[in-house]
A and B are shown apart, each in its own frame.
Chain A
Amino acid sequence: MTTAPTRPPGKAERIASAAPSRLGAFLRLRELPVTVALIALVIITTVVNPLFLSPQGVKDLLLNATIVIILAVGQALVIITRNVDLSVGSILGLVAFGTGTLFATVPGIPIVVVFLAGMLLGALLGAINGLLVTVAKVPALVITLGTLYIYRGLNNAWAGGTQYFAGDRPDAFGSLSVDTVLGFPLITLIAVVVVVIVAVYLAGTRPGRDLYAIGSDPDAAKLFGIPVSRRVFLAFLTNGVLAGLAGVLYASRFNSVGATTGSGLELAVVAAAVVGGVAIFGGSGSVVGAAMGALLLTTITSALTALRVDKFWQEAIVGVLILSAIIIDRIASVRSARKLRISEARNV
């Protein structure tokens, strides 16, 4: 689940030497800063306002975070390959509006079919991103900035002034965001399943590990015979599927869907991944970290309310978190570069 293995060493004689390095490995965990920040935030807020951690409070927190978590997981996949997908907000918008349209125009359509259709549309839009990035060899930042506007434009043209409201959709669909199992909303459980599946794929399969190699050094990856284009394409496709899923869940969670649904979400999603320890230049990080980042960013909003801090500070604080994440990364790499130079200085 993480790039730094934490399993016990296999042979007895190595335990002595491994103990300090396991502590070191733990301290170097990329998910550590975001976890510490999240725990600290929750503790401080709860001390000031005990209602913050009430069952209803927790449920609201998770509901708010769910959609960003799913998007951040997909985004992490893409960022790990040293790419980025800025079009996820627009994909979510199109799928959410499509979901509303489906329920309104095909009464009695099975909910499963709606989910499949949403994910299929997401897959198509993600595949377009992936194709453009891998074939045109233009940086993903530019490509997906383009598709961000194209997909949003399609959404505008399609929706016009139309909006669909919760009342247009079957109750069973809306209750996905209301019913809970053991205190967890159903849609949050869907997000957890997504996190687990993608985390296992990234940590435990060869194609998953290839994504890290690609992001770590794309040219070397090509030299090693890793099918770079195919893997990057699949990362964008998967991200599209997850954005589609998030779009369907958005329609379940929120009252209205229309032409502007999901606008601006992409930046929050990239922020969540970066704050969660996914290196913006690829090669390291995990989806668990990205999910934690999403949870942290959404928790801040509620926490600031509970702490009676002016809500307008929220964005400034998110900015500070992003910079901190990047600075922590930078310090770590400068330190290891200095270590390398010193070890080589012995040679003359």
Chain B
Amino acid sequence: MQTESMTADDGPPEPRLTLSGAVKAFGPVVALADGNIEILPGEIHALVGENGAGKSTLVKILAGLYRLDAGEFQVDGQPVSFRTVADSKAAGISVIYQEPTLFPDLTVAENIFIGRQPKGRLGLISRAAMRTAARDLFDQLGVRIDPNRVAEGLSIADQQIIEIAKAISLDAKVLVMDEPTAALSGVEVERLFQVARNLRTQGAGILFISHRFDEVFALCDRITVMRDGRYIATHVTSMVTVDAIVHEMVGRDVGALFPKEVAPVGDTVLSVQGLGRAGVFADVTFEVKAGEVVALAGLVGAGRTEVARAVFGIDPYDRGTVEFAGTLLKPHSPKAAIDAGMGFVPEDRRKQGLVMDLSVGRNTALTLRDRVARFGIINGRAERAAAAEWGRRLQVKTTSQEYAVSTLSGGNQQKVVLAKWLATDPKFLIVDEPTRGIDVGTKSEVHRLISDLANRGIAILMISSELPEVLGMADRVLVMHEGRITAELSRAEATPESIMHAATASLERTQ
């Protein structure tokens, strides 16, 4: 990496990397409609945006994982078109992911140099030379990691440093860090920043993706904002405020896309007190009443799903209590939760919500197998009847209950999951990202369903990363940030700005 300086008489330096008018679509879903980014040598450039703004897609294009449908992509002024990750690496781009992929069984030094280990006598790999080279890299980065230990068991922070060391040894000109600080502690973040600043001095261009505004403003020279797959603006950090950035991130028309009907609010169904799990979430306290939709908002990785899983008993918790309909719920027991009248519609319906190869009917009746069985043997006719009834009520569009559920569209699969739980007559339902990956038409159907359920007196906790969905559906919004609830907002108080501020912890607790 050669040293370059940004002096005035050189004129503006040539960008290390330019992407303009980038388009990437997956079938009908346009993930990136207009991606633009320009990274100069000796610059740390922030990329910010909500969940789904297209940041990840842009990163994957830079990494060579996705190919552009349209748009221009240049590295050092030369147009490029990557077919593979290796192409991207060869062009001098290295991507550091939030959770790096190292080879757990190989040593740290070998992870850096795999495939290009230094050779010694007889053409054999020289471990000593490899170790020394790794130590030199770590010295350069100002960190202490034992090159001899195996990668298994290393902290995320150390794994990232190893990826950075690898990037340096590959002479990377552009480093892309995709939310590198999400899993780091304060000290580790500071160490990473120091490394990034050193690299900047040496002339590397760094693209830094983060949800934490304090970090963005402390570290980065320029900030590019994206929203809904489009480039919005690029600012010099010293000339912009957090408020202005937040406004650009969320500044869209929040139409009454998904209006929830107002339902009579009944008794408290779920009461969570001081719930905590070391390293995951802490001090989580909230209530959900009958007929209410409470949204759990926040950025990906804030700990929302983890809280829901703990409440439902899938994961254990260390502290606090979960009270359901007035009685304490046995921790770490999904069976107790289901028996008490809880349902859980998971985020990943393909893996956790459905048995993809089983028929629509059998999936629907899965939660009913005790009720449709006699002496432990399932009565096929009773099973089909129950399944057909719930399928009809939720308008699941399938030509036959016998088809494998994998043949349905995403929206209809979600209805099957909902039907599965509704058949148990629950008092409380957790829905995790209910409309993820569902097309716009079916989305509103799912929302109408959820609204109907609330009307029938079911208490609902909805985890959602989509602000319009949260604003349209929720009676109350709980916002989480890094494992804690940072705000509780009534329907009137909830605005895109207030939620985004709480989700990025850029304001004091607003409660």
Q: How far is the CA of A344 from the CA of B110 in the complex (A)?
A: 24
Q: How far is the CA of A221 from the CA of B86 in the complex (A)?
A: 12
- Contact with B280, one of A206, A215, A348 (Cβ below 8 angstroms): A348
In A187-221, the 8 Å CB interface with B consists of 200, 203-206, 209-210, 212-213, 215-217, 219-221
Q: How far is the CA of A312 from the CA of B107 in the complex (A)?
A: 42
Q: Is the CB of A283 within 8 A of B104?
A: yes
Chain A interface main SS type: helix
**Chain B residues within an 8 Å CB radius of A25:** 148
Report the minimal beta-carbon distance from A280 to chain B, rounded to whole angstroms. 13
Known: A10-B132, A212-B103. A3 touches B279 (CB 8 A): no
Q: Is the CB of A3 within 8 A of B152?
A: no
Q: Is the CB of A336 within 8 A of B279?
A: no
Q: Is the CB of B105 within 8 A of A210?
A: no
Tell me whether B511 is interfacial, beta carbon within 8 Å: no
Tell me whether B150 is interfacial, beta carbon within 8 Å: yes
Q: Is the CB of A348 within 8 A of B281?
A: yes
**Which of B107, B132, B153, B281 has the largest number of chain A CB atoms within 10 A?**
B153
Tell me whether B185 is interfacial, beta carbon within 8 Å: yes
Q: Is the CB of B155 within 8 A of A212?
A: no
**Chain B residues within an 8 Å CB radius of A217:** 101, 103-104
Q: How far is the CA of A200 from the CA of B122 in the complex (A)?
A: 11
What sequence of 0s and 1s flags, for each residue 269-291 of chain B, a beta carbon within 8 Å of any chain A beta carbon?
A: 00000000011111000000000
What sequence of 0s and 1s flags, for each residue 317-348 of chain A, a beta carbon within 8 Å of any chain B beta carbon?
A: 00000000000000001001101111111111
Tell me whether B438 is interfacial, beta carbon within 8 Å: no
Known: A225-B86, A347-B183, A347-B279. A5 touches B131 (CB 8 A): yes
Tell me whether B242 is interfacial, beta carbon within 8 Å: no
- Contact with B106, one of A216, A336, A345 (Cβ below 8 angstroms): A216
For A30, the closest partner residue in chain B by CB is: B105
**Chain B residues within an 8 Å CB radius of A279:** 105
Tell me whether B255 is interfacial, beta carbon within 8 Å: no
Q: Is the CB of A223 within 8 A of B101?
A: yes
Tell me whether A21 is interfacial, beta carbon within 8 Å: yes
Tell me whether B482 is interfacial, beta carbon within 8 Å: yes
Tell me whether A284 is interfacial, beta carbon within 8 Å: yes
Q: How far is the CA of A333 from the CA of B151 in the complex (A)?
A: 12
Tell me whether A102 is interfacial, beta carbon within 8 Å: no
Q: Is the CB of A347 within 8 A of B185?
A: yes
Q: Is the CB of A347 within 8 A of B103?
A: no
For A283, the closest partner residue in chain B by CB is: B105
In B149-172, the 8 Å CB interface with A consists of 149-150, 152-156
In A220-250, the 8 Å CB interface with B consists of 220-221, 223-226
Tell me whether A137 is interfacial, beta carbon within 8 Å: no
**Chain B residues within an 8 Å CB radius of A346:** 185, 279
Tell me whether B115 is interfacial, beta carbon within 8 Å: yes
**Which of A279, A283, A344, A348 has the largest number of chain B CB atoms within 10 A?**
A348
Q: How far is the CA of A309 from the CA of B153 in the complex (A)?
A: 43
Report the minimal beta-carbon distance from A231 to chain B, rounded to whole angstroms. 11
Tell me whether B425 is interfacial, beta carbon within 8 Å: no
For B114, the closest partner residue in chain A by CB is: A213
Known: A209-B110, A225-B86, A226-B115. A348 touches B124 (CB 8 A): no
Other 16 A-B pairs with CB < 8 A, given A225-B89, A283-B105, A284-B105: A3-B107, A5-B148, A7-B128, A21-B148, A25-B148, A206-B125, A209-B110, A209-B114, A213-B114, A223-B85, A224-B115, A225-B86, A226-B114, A347-B183, A347-B279, A348-B483
CB within 8 Å of A: which residues of B?
A: 84-86, 89, 101-107, 110, 114-117, 123-125, 127-128, 131-132, 146, 148-150, 152-156, 183-185, 278-282, 482-483
CB within 8 Å of B: which residues of A?
A: 3-5, 7, 10, 21, 25, 200, 203-206, 209-210, 212-213, 215-217, 219-221, 223-226, 279, 283-284, 333, 336-337, 339-348
Can you name 5 A-B pairs with beta carbons within 8 Å?
A200-B124, A206-B116, A212-B106, A347-B183, A348-B279
